[in-house]
Amino acid sequence: MTSFPIQLTSVSDIKAFVDAASRLDCDVDVICGRYLVDGKSIMGLFSIDLSAPIQVQVQGSQAQADIFKGAIQKFLVK
């Protein structure tokens, strides 16, 4: 499992994130406070507070996490 923070600020950001997550064959979890939602669910992402950075957990191999991070690099919080 690999975990890292991201920031999504628009509807197009959410759509791009879900599209990238859906291409993975492992689970992608998004954690916002005490809530955990499926990163492949656009409705799940709309149900959480996105005004601050959120934590992403890729439940797959390090290679899968690296590919995913590359696909969503513009959302990573430095």
**DSSP 8-class letter at 76:** B
- Helix or strand (DSSP H, E) at 19: helix 11-22
pTM of the entire predicted model? 0.93
> Cα separation of 65 and 47, whole Å?
24
22-38 pLDDT per residue, tens: 999 999 999 999 999 99
Residue 6 CB partners (closer than 8 Å, separation 6+): 17, 53, 54, 56, 72, 75, 76, 77
Q: Span 47-56, mean pLDDT? A: 95
| Residue 30 φ/ψ, nearest 5 degrees | -120, 130
